[in-house]
Amino acid sequence: MGWLHDGKWLLLPSQDSVQKIECILISLDFSFQMHADDFRYDRCGVVSGLRDGGYSDDMTLAALAGAHKRLITSPPVAVFPHPLSSDLSFSRYWNYLRKQTFVLESYTSKVNWIMNRALFSSHCYLSWGFVVPYLMAMTHVAAALQIYIQGHAREETTFVSNGLLLVSCLAACTFIELFSMWNLTRIEVQLCNMLSPEAPRLSLATYNWVLVFIAMLVDNFLYPISAFRSHFSQSINWSGIRYHLKDGKISKIERSTGPKYTDLAWKKLYGKKGALPKTSFLGALLRSLEQWRQPKKFDG
């Protein structure tokens, strides 16, 4: 840490990125950076906030930066969707989602607590508000298929016809949504390439937007479940260390004997390195379900 002592900037690596040297080097792309003097002299209360039981470094810094009117910028990897790791399993994905919701349980002040509760409530409402129409659409389509197979009279299908009309409207809205996402991402990528010509060029040509849409459905369906789980458990396994919170601050730390989950994303968007891995998330999920259904040696 000697090279940081006299430096102008201080790098705060992600908690998942301190396991290996190469992860620390990669973390230069997506970790927090702040003026070293602000950290040394605790001008914004970062050191005291973390020392006083602060759990999440990014949430703590974001809250303090907002309170002190300091500017926050995001690197491209925090803005664009990126490919998942090739060895992704459902347990790793669930642990990652728990991390995203668990940070809302930590806070440094009353105002920060109110903001986190507002984020908690609005995100849960919007997540299931996004998923429920598609569940209803699946119900209408299933009912229409059942009526078609059973050969009911046309007079008996009025309600289903109205439902299919709503399904058609939802499909049109979904197409517009995906097209808007693709166009916005394309413009952002062009902007990044123009503003940083010396950096490797960003490329999203290999993205499958159908899979992106499925990932959005899965993520928004599971988010409220994870949020409520984090709220009532007040503990999480983060890279082999279990943290316990009380009143928004760390009250207990213990080494966990369970699996050590790390970051699940493959955070490269450059050229061929940004290509999607051969193993998809759905394939990993099916593989996990098959392993779960296999009889264990102690069964029977």
Each residue's pLDDT tens digit, 64-85: 777 777 776 666 656 666 666 6
**Which one has a higher pLDDT value, 2 or 279?**
279
DSSP lists the bridge partners of residue 169 as: none
Identify the CA nearest to 240 among candidates 224, 208, 262: 262
Two structure tokens written together for 34: 């702040």
Task: Give the contacts of 118 (CB within 8 A, at least 6 positions apart).
Answer: none
Name the amino acid, one letter, at 12: L
pLDDT at 256: 65
Among 57, 73, 89, residue at a domain's last position: 73
Residues 128 and 180 in one domain: yes
Please state, in angstroms and rounded to a whole number, the distance separating the CA atoms of residues 113 and 172: 39
Q: Is residue 64 part of a domain?
A: yes
Instruction: With respect to residue 268, please indicate whether it lies within any of the assigned structural domains.
Output: yes
- The residue that leads in pLDDT, 87 or 288, is 87
In the structure, what pLDDT confidence band is assigned to residue 250 with cuts at 50, 70 and 90? confident
Residue 2 included in any domain? no
pLDDT of res. 290: 52
* Close Cβ partners of 236 (under 8 Å, ≥ 6 residues apart): 95, 98, 99, 102, 230, 242, 243
- Report the SS3 class of residue 202: strand
- Same domain for 64 and 94? no
Q: Are residues 107 and 63 in the same domain?
A: no
User: Mean pLDDT throughout 27-47?
Assistant: 62
**Domain boundaries, position 153:** 79-293
In the chain, the number of structural domains is 2
51, 73, 95 - which closes a domain: 73
Closest CA to 187 of 41, 75, 80: 80
Sheet holding 241-246, edge to edge: 235-238, 241-246, 249-255
Instruction: Say yes or no: 51 and 124 in one domain.
Output: no
Cα 62–Cα 65–Cα 71 angle in degrees, nearest 5? 105
Same domain? For 88 and 68 the reply is no
Q: Three-state DSSP class for 245?
A: strand
What pLDDT does 239 receive?
Answer: 73
The answer for residues whose C-beta is within 8 angstroms of residue 298's C-beta and 6 or more apart is none
What pTM does this model have?
0.65
Boundary of a domain, candidates 32, 49, 73:
73
Are 56 and 158 in a shared domain? no
Q: Kindly state whether residues 207 and 94 are assigned to the same domain.
A: yes
Find the radius of gyration of the CA atoms of the chain: 23
pLDDT, tens only, 285-295: 555 545 544 44
- % of the chain with per-residue pLDDT over 70: 59
